[in-house]
Structure 1
Amino acid sequence: MKKIVITRNINPDIIAKLRKDFEVAVWEEDQKPMPRGKFLEETKDAHAVLTMLSDKIDEEFLANAPDLKIVANLAVGFDNIDLEAAHRHEVVITNTPDVLTETTAELAFTMMLVSARKVLEANKELMAGEWSGWSPYHMAGTDVFGKTVGIFGMGSIGAAFARRLSGFKSNILYHNRSESEAANALGAKLVSFEELLRESDFVLCAAPLTEETKHKFDREAFEQMKESAHFINIGRGAHVVEDDLAEAIKSGKIAGAALDVFENEPIGADHPFIGLDNMTLLPHIGSASVATRNNMMNLCVNNIMEVLNGGTPITPVK
């Protein structure tokens, strides 16, 4: 019987689909990744692995699992995977595009509004019993309606975010490797990275992580932004030089930031962002609705079953 390893505790009803025909080993933790040693030991005789972004798929892992046919990554991104090594070992890599697009765009829009209107700061003050009464400029933030919003990375999530801006009569700018028909249909304008930074009141990073986009948002980038601007990141943490962003917030170079991703996750109490005003920090919950996570899990399972039964993967990473 072929063996499948699942590196995090997922919906048992979805696991049950696999257990009908395969041996399934599950790391029964919700938040803690499978330790590397355990991961290598458990997968050495595996035919398929359902992985998380926290699982490193590299030459060591692939060489250690000679029977492996597929790695199904529970994410759109796959920067945890050495694709060249996977190709050498003839292992299929799949991801979960499309099924989480709307949910992630929805959270990004929420983060923009929360950052603009100082929602977390106001809630913190109220919950601490420190609200002393109404005053004209108390917790006064900025409007989103009618503002210029720049989107770095106009893929499916960027386009879904842009659609949500239509009701806010936003001026939409975007920077992408190529022109986007979906963005153009919304009246968005393709601009240089520098113009995006210079003109936008809100900058959303929704790009995939590549060598070209890694640490793209550094001191120089933040210095080009308006002092009234807000930065939102739902792409990858490594798009940002985190010390530079912390300094931009502390110095008032930009007005605020909202982040759902960090370069090294999870972050602890000693992280430079912790304790800073004007920062909205979330624990990587971009696609975290029950329906979407179940759809992602089902897509991973369906990819695995297709490959192990001799079929074609549904969402291969090419």
Structure 2
Amino acid sequence: MTRILITRPMPARVLAEAESQFEVEVRDDNAPLKPGQMRGALALYDGILPTLGDMFSAEVFADAEGSRCRILANFGVGYNHIDVAAARAAGIAVTNTPGAVTDATADIALTLILMSARRAGEGERMLRAGRWTGWNPTQMLGSHVTGKTVGIVGMGRIGQAIARRCHFGFGMEVLYYNRSEKAIDIPARQVASLTALAGQVDFLVAAVPGGPETQGIVGPEVLAAMKPAAHLVNIARGDVVDEAALIDALREGRIAGAGLDVYAREPEVPEVLRKMEAVTLLPHLGTAALEVREAMGLMAVENLRAFFAGDELPNPVN
């Protein structure tokens, strides 16, 4: 029977579906696979269901040609932790789970916009610490969201879902930066450069895929272009934002705040960020809803089923 390794604990419904079709081994450890474990898995299993943090680099695939493993069915839409070209050279297919994560991730973007603008994290910390002395007209004044301008960096599925929420839910003007023009079903204006976008918006939201092309694209120049009252939100990948440059901008008061769900070296979060009141920090909650994680897992299992049945892959990574 086809042997599959699932690299992290999964919702019961996902495990049941996988076990109905394959001989399954599930790691009971939430830590990412180490390089030696990945090499061993490529030799021992017909397919692997990996996820964020399992760094299948070119070095891991160096001796994998002719290995037993023929497919990596990634749990997640982002796959910058997998060297797809090296996998392909070793004869290993790679799939992902697009679509399942779109709405949940867009919801977290709006959560961070609202929390950062309205100083929600700061207010909760004040209340829990017993420092709230009651309502007054000038307490905890933040920024209004309704009617403001949002700039979205990356207008793929998630970027468009964020744009719809901003437009329909809050009457926001939507601007965006994208490598190509997009046909979008709401009023939205494309801006020619990321720096130009940053200078025109009240909220700048990073929603691009991870990878070498987007690493550090929200850097010193982009942050310097932002308005002093503007907020940065990142629900993409942590290294899309230059963390050191962001810390400087926040420390010097050059932007009003930031909302972050992802970090450059997860789970490490710089101590200076953790101590800043003007920053809302979430522990990578983008897809953290049971229904969503089930849908992601079932999609990954379906990719495995299709591959071993010889059917067309539903979600191949090209």
> What's the TM-score bracket when you normalise by the shorter of the two chains?
over 0.9
- One-letter amino acid of the structure 2 residue matched with residue 297 of structure 1: G
The number of equivalent residue pairs is: 314
Report sequence identity in percent.
Answer: 38
Q: Distance in 2 between matches of 1:13 and 1:186?
A: 36
Question: Kindly tell me: are residues 209 and 33 of structure 1, through their superposed partners in 2, closer, same or farther at Cα, counting changes over 3 Å?
Answer: closer
- One-letter amino acid of the structure 2 residue matched with residue 222 of structure 1: L
Number of the residue aligned with 1:222:
223
Cα displacement string for residues 105-163 of structure 1 (whole angstroms, at most 9, x for unaligned residues) = 01111110010000010111011001123222211000001111100000010101111
The secondary structure found in structure 2 opposite 1:274 is helix
8 Å CA contact 1:18, 1:301 repeated in 2: yes
Q: Distance in 1 between matches of 2:18 and 2:256?
A: 49
Cα displacement string for residues 23-61 of structure 1 (whole angstroms, at most 9, x for unaligned residues) = 2111113x3223443343344221100001100112343
Number of the residue aligned with 1:189:
189
Number of the residue aligned with 1:84:
85
Cα displacement string for residues 219-245 of structure 1 (whole angstroms, at most 9, x for unaligned residues) = 221111000000000011111110110
Number of the residue aligned with 1:170:
172
The secondary structure found in structure 2 opposite 1:113 is helix
The secondary structure found in structure 2 opposite 1:307 is helix
| Deviation of 1:66 (Å) | 0.3
Runs of 4+, deviation exceeding 6 Å? none
Cα displacement string for residues 152-209 of structure 1 (whole angstroms, at most 9, x for unaligned residues) = 0000101011111123121110000111111xx3110000222211110000000112
Number of the residue aligned with 1:4:
4
Match runs of 1:154-303 below 5 Å = 154-166=155-167, 167-182=169-184, 185-192=185-192, 193-268=194-269, 270-303=270-303
Once the two structures are overlaid, the 10-residue window that deviates more, 142-151 or 43-52, is 43-52
8 Å CA contact 1:69, 1:308 repeated in 2: no
The secondary structure found in structure 1 opposite 2:44 is coil
1:17 aligns with 2:17: yes
8 Å CA contact 1:201, 1:230 repeated in 2: yes
8 Å CA contact 2:71, 2:93 repeated in 1: yes
Number of the residue aligned with 1:142:
143
The secondary structure found in structure 2 opposite 1:199 is coil
Number of the residue aligned with 1:37:
36
Q: Distance in 1 between matches of 2:22 and 2:134?
A: 62
- One-letter amino acid of the structure 2 residue matched with residue 307 of structure 1: F
8 Å CA contact 1:8, 1:34 repeated in 2: no
User: Gaps spanning 5+ residues in structure 2: where?
Assistant: none
Number of the residue aligned with 2:49:
50
The secondary structure found in structure 2 opposite 1:4 is strand
- One-letter amino acid of the structure 2 residue matched with residue 58 of structure 1: S
The secondary structure found in structure 1 opposite 2:315 is coil
| Deviation of 1:21 (Å) | 4.1
User: How does the TM-score come out when normalised to structure 1?
Assistant: 0.94
Question: Kindly tell me: are residues 299 and 285 of structure 1, through their superposed partners in 2, closer, same or farther at Cα, counting changes over 3 Å?
Answer: same
1:59 aligns with 2:61: no
8 Å CA contact 1:219, 1:244 repeated in 2: yes
Question: Kindly tell me: are residues 201 and 49 of structure 1, through their superposed partners in 2, closer, same or farther at Cα, counting changes over 3 Å?
Answer: same
Q: Distance in 1 between matches of 2:21 and 2:145?
A: 52
8 Å CA contact 2:239, 2:263 repeated in 1: yes
- One-letter amino acid of the structure 2 residue matched with residue 309 of structure 1: A
8 Å CA contact 1:27, 1:34 repeated in 2: no
User: How does the TM-score come out when normalised to structure 2?
Assistant: 0.94
Q: Distance in 2 between matches of 1:96 and 1:33?
A: 19
Cα displacement string for residues 277-302 of structure 1 (whole angstroms, at most 9, x for unaligned residues) = 11011111101111011000000001
User: Gaps spanning 5+ residues in structure 1: where?
Assistant: none
